[in-house]
Amino acid sequence: MSAPFDRSLTGEVESGPGHEFGVSPQAGDEERVVESALRPHSLTDFIGQPKVARQLALVLEGAKRRGRPPDHVLLSGPPGLGKTSLALIIGSELGTSVKITSGPAIERSGDLAAMLSNLGPGDVLFIDEIHRIARPAEELLYMAMEDFRVDVVVGKGPGATAIPLEINPFTLVGATTRAGLLTGPLRDRFGFVGQMEFYEPAELQLVLARSAELLGVELTDDGSAEIARRSRGTPRIANRLLRRVRDYAEVEADGRVTRAVARAALALYDVDDLGLDRLDRAVLEALVSRFSGGPVGVSTLAVAVGEESHTVEEVCEPFLVRAGLLARTPRGRVATEAAWQHLGRPVPRGGIPLGGVTAVPRDPGSSSEPLFDA
């Protein structure tokens, strides 16, 4: 279990101010290297998600006392909140190895059967984005989760034979950002379901303090607070912003991350006070200036900002809706009164066509509403 945590922090590939910089919760390849070094190793080190952590601790402790693998675990929630970290912690707490794969990578049932047959007693199989697993592989998973057995079909047509293959008892940990896309039979086979929530700014400050210590960054309290409030309630984004502010502090300042340094660095990287990046603001600007606040269809809005429709819908819109800057209506997307105010534009005299709704910008990290529609 030491491999995922022992990578050098110097393996990070830095990006300068000239590179496109965003606050997407999705992780890039180089970022995963740094994330693995910053991940907590135990539930006591894990910050945030108190309810899920407490419930999971009881599940794991009960299983260890009985000497049996714990029930299968499903972790759902937006990206960047710690689902992979918790999966690795489960293996660490149980003292077993963790085999990692993803739903899109399992295209055939034979791929999954080979993976399951190589698991040792009590091992943890972590499947990220489990809602995207192929249907034949999902059906094979049903029997493996319940009876620790898989049927391998040999041959084709009338002569095909199903050979039962016993596998070692294991724990499946599934992670998904779209719990509503899971089929009922698969969802019902998980004994524990944890819903990950967005972090409060105070929790993100604890995450930043821990990461700063590991990275050797001198981070002041006001500097931490400035980064935390622009991090969209997501630890992955907070750690990413910390690394970029560290770069600025080392090159343009004395190396200390203060509030003034953090503000200057984030302004350079186009991250504003609410955590909006260039694309978020481009969507709002297009909606307000070109379409008079809407309503307008997402396809038209995507063309206006030069992006694909799914990028606007899946990357930008969830945060803009959660922050109260954009509303989805039956007629299309509409900029709220808060969006006009955030852009420094006067609100139209006729008001916002939202049926009387005038959203107020909120701290993005304090909302418990789901980021993705299930």
Residue 357 has pLDDT above 60, yes or no: no
My answer on whether 112 and 253 are in the same domain is no
Is 189 annotated in some ligand binding site?
yes
Residue 360 has pLDDT above 90, yes or no: no
Structural domain ending residue among the three candidates 164, 195, 226: 195
Is residue 110 located within the same domain as residue 259?
A: no
pLDDT value at position 295? 85
CA distance 265 to 223: 11
Q: Evaluate whether 318 touches 25 at the Cβ level (below 8 Å).
A: no
What local confidence, expressed as pLDDT, does residue 359 receive? 43
* Residue 328 assigned as binding residue: yes
pLDDT of residue 13: 38
Whether 332 shows a pLDDT value over 90: the answer reads no
Whether residue 315 sits in one domain with residue 231: no
- Domain identity same for 62 and 155: yes
333 is in an annotated binding site: yes
Q: How confident is the model at residue 28 (pLDDT cuts 50, 70, 90)?
A: low
**Annotated catalytic residue 188:** no
- Same domain for 189 and 333, yes or no, is no
- Known binding residue 336? Answer is no
80 is in an annotated binding site: yes
- Under the banding of pLDDT at 50, 70 and 90, the label for residue 323 is confident
Average pLDDT over residues 259-279: 87
Which residue would you say has higher pLDDT here, 78 or 9? Answer: 78
Give me the CATH number covering residue 45.
Answer: 3.40.50.300
User: In this predicted structure, what is the pLDDT of residue 159?
Assistant: 65
224 with 105, same domain: the answer is: no
Active site residue 99: no
The more confident residue out of 212 and 357 is: 212
pLDDT band at 26 (very low <50, low <70, confident <90, very high): low
The answer to whether the beta carbons of residues 279 and 270 sit under 8 Å apart is no
Percentage of the chain beyond pLDDT 90 is: 14
Q: What is the pLDDT of residue 355?
A: 43
The token pair that represents 69 in the structure block: 């693998």
Average of per-residue pLDDT across 17-30: 48
Residue 250's domain comprises: 201-269
| Residue 129 resides in a domain | yes
Q: Over the stretch 112-121, which tens digit does the pLDDT of each residue have?
A: 888 888 888 9
Catalytic residue among 96, 171, 176, 177: 177
Q: Are residues 52 and 152 in the same domain?
A: yes
84 among annotated binding-site residues: yes
To the question of whether residue 39 is assigned a binding role by annotation, the answer is yes
- Is residue 318 very low, low, confident or very high in pLDDT (cuts 50, 70, 90)? confident
Q: What is the pLDDT of residues 32-64, one digit of tens each?
A: 555 667 788 888 888 888 999 999 999 999 988
Asked if residue 81 belongs to a domain, the reply is yes
Total domains in the fold of the chain: 3
Three-state SS annotation for 264-318 = HHHHHCCCCCCCCCHHHHHHHHHHHHHCCCCCECHHHHHHHHCCCHHHHHHHHHH
Question: Is residue 150 assigned to a domain?
Answer: yes
* pLDDT at 374 exceeding the cut of 80: no
Higher per-residue confidence, 73 vs 366: 73
> Is residue 164, in this structure, part of any structural domain at all?
yes
Residues 224 and 265 in one domain: yes
Is residue 71 flagged as an active site residue?
Answer: no
In a domain, 224, yes or no: yes
Which pLDDT score, from 0 to 100, does residue 5 have? 37
Say if 9 falls within a structural domain.
no
pLDDT of residue 203: 92
Per-residue confidence (pLDDT) for residue 126, from 0 to 100: 93
User: 3-state class of 331 per DSSP?
Assistant: coil
CATH of the domain at 290: 1.10.10.10
Angle made by CA atoms 349, 352, 355, in degrees to the nearest 5: 130
- Specify the pLDDT at position 54: 92
Helical H segments across 95-147, by residue range: 109-117, 135-147
Q: Is 132 one of the catalytic residues?
A: no
**In a shared domain, residues 125 and 184:** yes
116 lies in the same domain as 256: no
Establish whether 250 is an annotated binding residue. no
Verify that 178 and 102 share a domain, yes or no: yes
Question: Which of 123, 128, 277, 280 is labelled catalytic?
Answer: 128
Of the three residues 155, 179, 195, the one that is the final residue of a domain is: 195
The active-site residue out of 83, 230, 232, 246 is 83
Tell whether 76 is covered by a domain.
yes
Q: Is residue 14 one of the residues assigned to a domain?
A: no
* CATH code, 245: 1.10.8.60
The pLDDT value given to residue 204? 92
In the chain, alpha helices (H): 29-38, 50-66, 83-94, 109-117, 135-147, 184-188, 201-215, 221-228, 235-252, 259-268, 278-285, 298-305, 309-311, 317-322, 337-342
pLDDT at 75: 92
Residues 261 and 295 in one domain: no
Q: Pick the catalytic residue: 187, 229, 232, 236? A: 236
**258 is a catalytic site residue:** no
- pLDDT, one tens digit per residue, over 189-239 is 899 999 988 899 999 999 999 988 888 888 899 999 999 988 888 899 999
